[in-house]
Structure 1
Amino acid sequence: MTDIPGFSLEKTAPSHRAWRIIVAASIGNALEWFDLVIYGFFAVTISKLFFPAGSETVSLLLTLGTFGVSFFMRPLGAVVLGVYADKAGRKAALTLSILLMMIGTLLIAVMPTYATIGILAPVGIVFARMIQGFSAGGEFGSATAFLAEHGGQRRGFFASWQAASQGLTTLLAALAGTWLTTALTPEQVLSWGWRLPFLFGLFIGPVAYYIRRNIDETPEFVSTGTAKTPLADTFTDQRQRLILAIGAVVLGTVATYLILYMPTYAVKQLGLPASAAFTATIATGVIQMIGAPFFGHLSDRIGRTRIMMVAGVFFLVCAYPVFRLLHDHPTFGALVGVQIFFGVANAAYFGALPALLSDLFPTKNRTTGMSVGYNVSVTVFGGFAPFIITSLIGLTGNQLAPSFYLIAAAIVSLFALMHIRKLAMQ
């Protein structure tokens, strides 16, 4: 069941091909996001090695700023790879994006530290993050279009694996962080241990590349044909839908990157050990990995916006009390409870979001429209979320500042979802 009328759904993909299609899109998407999430999880360590400064806060802000700088490349990647996907096909764009991510990951994995090569170290990290940002900019739209267009009448379920693979990413990254911070000493993590997750991601890359090279193009794209001017069409014929897509993504991206920021928040603001912070995040990854397909399937039955608006209201109403609880009881148990709350709410919202965005745009410029809408929102509201939250805490001295940002995001997205419902009724 879609919320946006006017787009035909092909027959549901045969069962023997379904999991092959899901794995093909999800494994690459999980790898892309694994590399990005690992950088965020090890922000404190990277800040000491590549961005040394007189103040720990300044050093961390420089690292988080670099995390955000790569997001400036995402809109460019969204345009270039999105247009490429609408012209050459989803398969071609997915294969190219995984190659670019492998290059960026390799650079980070082998980059000498500031103590070894000086200013070239942070410059190299920034360059690598920009390549990763460009690659990720085209990944969401290409992978989502690929999944949705193979899904037929189960478009919500298929597209939800976009979110589920991000949950797998969070789980793998949290497991890596937990193992590294418990099996190794702080000196070993600082010296070489932090590089191991990037090397792991690098080794998985060829597998993802091979799988994507041997998948079939989507039937919807083949039957519709290539677009001549997908970018121009998006900004002229689909301008209102593009704006609504940007608004709908705001809450999902802020919640996602707030979850990513929680280990840093737990260590720097609550004084909890890094191992406990990473362990608590495992709960979020498991919930999103399992919950997103459930809510995606549910969205095929009762509609996307209904599920997303309920989740949005939960974020709006519960954000402040949840952070107040964590502030007043900075314990491992409270942190796990908060991460479970974020995991369930985000699984509901993000589980239905990819299919909603797919429904918004016609096939000929679907990847371009989704890529631009998603990445503009992620760049503006998500990529700099850790930086903004850290700055707000520093400026106000209020450890509840993350909840204010989350509440603002919920208001923006609920407003967009109400307009999408109106659009569906026309």
Structure 2
Amino acid sequence: MTSLADTTPRREAASTPSSKKAVIAGTVGHILEWYDFAVYGYVAIHIAANFFPSEDKTASLLASLAAFGVGFAARPIGGIVFGRVGDTRGRRAVLLATLLLMAVSTLLIGLLPTYGMIGLFAPLLLVIARLLQGFSAGGETTTAAAFIVEWAPNGKRGLYGSFQQMGSGAGLLLGSLTVAAITTLLPEQAMSEWGWRIPFVIGGILAPIAFIIRRSAHETPKFNTMSEQKRQGGLAPQARGATFQRIVKAFLFSLFWSVGFYFFLSYMPTYAIRELKLDSSTVFWLSSAASLIYIIAIPISGAASDVIGRKATLLISCAVFTLASLPIFIFLNNNPTTFNYFIVVALIGLFFSMYTGPAAATLSEIFPTSSRSSGMAIGYNISTVVFGGFTPFIATWLIATFGTPLAPIYYVVASALAGGLFVITLKETAGAPLH
């Protein structure tokens, strides 16, 4: 049995009030999720001083970034658990549960006693809170993507899916703006002692608003149709081998997505402060401005992928990062001014949007509805753990090991090259109906 929605020509599809509400619900909740999850990276230096005190500042920062990476270790588990729930109970239920869990764990980080207060229990509790955040994010990211893309009219999945990535970028921007404002208003000592807590507390307070918005959205038509087909016995079971192949594709597709996202959009402020010796307050404001450019570019790239195809849009991004990353960073390290930093991160945002804009739609189109939530979650989250979550740690370690701030750029170039080679193997799906 095949649903009418799956066979309707894309030119006949149109946006509806329900689909627009779904986009808002998925995006607003995703903004808060990624504000909560990413703000840790912006205050990692202060967390290092409070939870991992050491005379060696590099060792202290590495410990703090390792705790950041530990949060990603729980993501595949969260992806498996919430992905299964999403495929059996619905996408909406997962989005409500992950939002609440993220809010609680984020507020916990903001209220934790430091190493000076309770000793080793402080970093232990911090790691537990990060694990809870990772467990939540493991189900949130891909389920939000599936939720929005399944609501999208045919022929607009690239555009609709891009709003999920806008949510990620907006969450980072909100976190960057919050930290920039607090860093500007507070003396450095106050920021280090207690000011770093404020962004986490704000995230916990805003959660009820996002929850109310999400609760008003309905389940996707694709999931409801699939559930009805299951009840009527008209849905053929999937071969395990085919599902595994799709998960591997999701893993490989997410490689460059993960490395690029966490290096350029999360670690870059730390890189600018430590390696380029730029003023921290200025760096956060410039990063916020560049993030805004990135966010604006995402839906343009998503819409472009609906017209010229997913592969063309994705490959342009991979090619630029493969060929231009090293020359750009050589220039930046030789000319470390605030103006040059802004130009570089703004250009990075523009070209990286050409990968992230169509990414949610491309990933969703790999899977059929019956395994979309779980398959995406497993492939994407394992890739994020392996290549993304520890990217700030790897970058810092590479710089310390090889004695040059250019060392992590080779890691980025390798990921872009690998991503481009994989995209070439993908089948074009922009004009095809969703499974």
Whether TM-score is above 0.5 comes out as yes
Aligned ranges 1:177-188 → 2 under 5 Å: 177-188=179-190
Which residue, out of 218, 241, 246, partners 1:241?
A: 246
Counterpart of 1:256, as a letter, is F
What is the SS of the residue equivalent to 1:398? coil
Aligned ranges 1:305-320 → 2 under 5 Å: 305-320=311-326
Does the 8 Å CA contact 1:234/1:365 hold for their aligned counterparts? Answer: no
Partner of 1:332: 338
Q: Does 1:345 align with 2:347?
A: no
Q: What's the CA shift string for 1:356-415, capped at 9, x where partnerless?
A: 011110010011111111111111000000000100000000111121011010111112
Distance 2:228 2:214 in 1: 20
Aligned ranges 1:80-229 → 2 under 5 Å: 80-153=81-154, 154-225=156-227
What is the CA-CA distance between 1:33 and the residue it aligns to? 0.7
Question: Cα–Cα, structure 1 residues 20 and 6, in superposed 2: closer, same or farther, change >3 Å?
Answer: closer
Aligned ranges 1:254-273 → 2 under 5 Å: 254-259=259-264, 260-273=266-279
Does the 8 Å CA contact 2:309/2:429 hold for their aligned counterparts? Answer: no
The number of residues matched between the two structures is 420
Does the 8 Å CA contact 2:310/2:428 hold for their aligned counterparts? Answer: no
Q: What's the CA shift string for 1:194-243, capped at 9, x where partnerless?
A: 11111111111011111111211000110111798x9x958532222221
Partner of 2:3: none
Does the 8 Å CA contact 2:294/2:346 hold for their aligned counterparts? Answer: no
- Structure 2: which 5+ runs fail to align? 1-5
Distance 2:10 2:127 in 1: 42
Q: What's the CA shift string for 1:309-365, capped at 9, x where partnerless?
A: 011000101100111011001110111011111100111110011100111100100
Does the 8 Å CA contact 1:254/1:409 hold for their aligned counterparts? Answer: yes
What is the SS of the residue equivalent to 2:217? coil
Does the 8 Å CA contact 1:86/1:365 hold for their aligned counterparts? Answer: yes
What is the SS of the residue equivalent to 1:152? coil
Distance 1:76 1:336 in 2: 37
Distance 1:8 1:246 in 2: 30
Distance 1:314 1:234 in 2: 38
Does the 8 Å CA contact 2:36/2:103 hold for their aligned counterparts? Answer: no
Q: CA RMSD in A?
A: 2.3
Partner of 1:45: 46
Q: Does 1:250 align with 2:251?
A: no
Which TM-score applies when normalising by structure 1?
0.94
Q: What's the CA shift string for 1:87-136, capped at 9, x where partnerless?
A: 00010010111011012112101101111111111011100000000000
Q: What's the CA shift string for 1:147-191, capped at 9, x where partnerless?
A: 001002111111111111111112111111211111110111112
Partner of 1:414: 420
- Identity between Structure 1 and Structure 2 (%): 37
Distance 2:330 2:280 in 1: 21
Distance 2:270 2:217 in 1: 39
- Structure 1: which 5+ runs fail to align? none
Distance 2:365 2:114 in 1: 46
Distance 2:343 2:130 in 1: 32
Partner of 1:323: 329
Counterpart of 1:55, as a letter, is D
Counterpart of 2:179, as a letter, is G
Distance 1:15 1:403 in 2: 44
Partner of 2:369: 363
Q: What's the CA shift string for 1:70-92, capped at 9, x where partnerless?
A: 11100001110011000000100
